[in-house]
Amino acid sequence: MQHFKRLANIVYLLLIVSHLLATLALAQGGREVLVADVSGPVTPIMLSFIERALAEADLRNAEAVIIRLNTPGGSVDLTKEIIQVMIASDVPVVVYVWPPGGFAASAGTFITLAGHAAAMAPNTSIGAASPVDGSGGEIDETLRAKIENILVADIKSLANRRGDEAIEWAQEAITEAKAANAREALELGVIDFVAEDLDDLLSQLDGFTVKVGGEEVALNTGDVRTSFFEPTALEELLGIIATPTIALLLISVGSLAIVYEIINPGGYISGIIGVILLVVGLFGVGQLPVNYAGLALILLAIGLFAAELFTPTFGALTAVGIAAFILGALILFNTSEFSYRIPIPSIIGIALSLAVIVGLGMRKVVQSMKNQPTTGREAMIDAVGTVKVPLDPQGRVLVYGEWWSASSEDGQPINVGEQIRVTKIDGFQLKVKKAE
């Protein structure tokens, strides 16, 4: 009984210590700023990552969340969801366009303006949110007016608290594709700070007042500790796959593997790998605003490459396929929501690699058409054998190690041991003549 009481006292003491440590941790959490690096096109993966970062910051009772943003833009619908999540956050959200040389283009402009505070690193840019059509060109006037009016209304609402100059610039970023560097954006009131790095940003944010949930909150970022919110391994992998150049490369390599399987059937490994890569590449493309005309041209090119192997046109289908592939790759990621051009050397390199593989396959097909059959009934024609039972005119011969009933083609007798050549197969009987 005595031992039991001692054990109970120890457990009780441990509970008290644990509670004190937890309280201390929560107290320290209020002096923490969570930093989340967000880069690349606006995709469902980005939305999920930002949602997790804000939820984690709320759980830790963080002072603020700093989103270091570098994006060429992306889906309007996803951007609106990100904005809604940011506005609804109980933790102040600071959007920091980073690193130097980075940008918050198109949809990135909306995300930056949606932050409770906004900053940019030197040599960064923001703006150019004008809509374009599926091939990167101009949209029909009526449709363009509808899209612009909706986007202008949204961006003016976000920029409303930043003054008339900021509102006017934000509107022109939509209607005239205007852009601004960090210093210009600061002068216009589009952002609150130009910060050299994270420490500089935290120093400038200290004491800055933001409105969160309708209430004014003074940020306390002096001597605050920073924690970096890392993506999961799956998010990192999906982020790589959803990169335009990587997605196109996966589709191309997968197609090459399938073409190789067609050329050398029977192994299955290259075919299986090809199908997997092709599916993963198409998944990556599906995460991005894609021009379906460009995707159709790429798939058409792959179909033409495969058709070349079955109906050799001595390069005609391959040439058309290369042209279709290059054109499709150029417009694949140019939509009204997102404009991204894959480097031309990459496109040409992938297209030529496909053409070389198809050329090697076509050469192998042509060679196989010229080769004499080596198995089956066709292989017996013109084969040479030996007479084992005299042909007068019928007898038996040995061909390819097998015994066959045979008859002399011209009716002339052929003696045992003489060489014969097969001229015809009639059921299970050979027609033969003396070999010259």
Q: What pLDDT, in 10s, does the model give residues 20-36?
A: 444 444 444 447 999 99
Answer yes or no: 146 catalytic.
Answer: yes
Let me know: does 416 contact 387? Beta carbons within 8 Å.
yes
Average pLDDT on 115-143 reads 78
Name the residue among 140, 154, 107 with its Cα closest to residue 126: 107
Residues 44 and 180 both lie in one domain: yes
Choose the final residue of a domain: 335, 370, 405: 370
Residues 306 and 411 both lie in one domain: no
Residues 240 and 151 both lie in one domain: no
Rounded CA-CA distance 169/127 in Å is 9
Average pLDDT on 235-245 reads 90
Whether the predicted pLDDT of 354 surpasses 60: yes
Least confident of 40-49, 129-138, 168-177, 286-295: 129-138
- Residue 231's pLDDT is 95
DSSP state of 414: B
Average pLDDT on 154-181 reads 94
Return the structure tokens found at 275.
């199908």
Left, alpha or beta for 346 (phi > 0: left; psi -120 to 50: alpha)?
alpha
Helix 344-370 to helix 292-310 angle, to the nearest 10 degrees?
20
Residues 268 and 167 both lie in one domain: no
Number of structural domains the chain divides into: 4
Average pLDDT on 164-176 reads 95
> Regarding beta strands 225-229 and 215-218, do their DSSP bridges make them parallel or antiparallel, or are they unpaired?
unpaired
Whether the predicted pLDDT of 220 surpasses 90: yes
Residues 6 and 72 both lie in one domain: no
- Residue 378's pLDDT is 64
- Residue 369's pLDDT is 53
Residues 56 and 70 both lie in one domain: yes
Q: What is the mean pLDDT of the chain?
A: 85
Element (H, E) at 44: helix 44-59
Residues linked to residue 194 through DSSP beta bridges, in sequence order: 120
Structure confidence at residue 13 as a pLDDT band (50, 70, 90)? low
At residue 349, what are phi and psi to the nearest 5 degrees? Answer: -60, -45
Choose the final residue of a domain: 198, 231, 264: 231
Determine the Cα angle at 411 with ends 405 and 415, to 5°: 65
For residue 48, the domain's CATH number is 3.90.226.10
Look-up of token digits 């989340």: 36
Residues 97 and 207 both lie in one domain: yes
Look at the alpha carbons of 87, 91, 92, 94 in this order and tell me if their dihedral is positive or negative. negative
Residues 309 and 177 both lie in one domain: no
Catalytic residue among 18, 39, 135, 146: 146
Which is more confident, 285 or 375? 285
- Residue 139's pLDDT is 56
Residues 204 and 137 both lie in one domain: yes
Whether the predicted pLDDT of 399 surpasses 90: no
Element (H, E) at 429: strand 429-434
What are the pLDDT digits (tens) for 82-126? 999 999 999 999 999 999 999 999 999 999 999 999 999 999 999
Answer yes or no: 80 catalytic.
Answer: no
Residues 37 and 49 both lie in one domain: yes
Let me know: does 281 contact 251? Beta carbons within 8 Å.
yes
Residues 45 and 9 both lie in one domain: no
The percent of residues above 90 in pLDDT, for the chain, comes to 47
Residues 258 and 227 both lie in one domain: no
Choose the final residue of a domain: 331, 347, 370: 370
Name the residue among 108, 106, 112 with its Cα closest to residue 130: 106
Catalytic residue among 75, 89, 106, 336: 106
Range of the domain at 223: 31-231
Least confident of 115-124, 350-359, 372-381: 372-381
Return the structure tokens found at 393.
């005119």
For residue 386, the domain's CATH number is 2.40.50.140
Average pLDDT on 370-389 reads 71
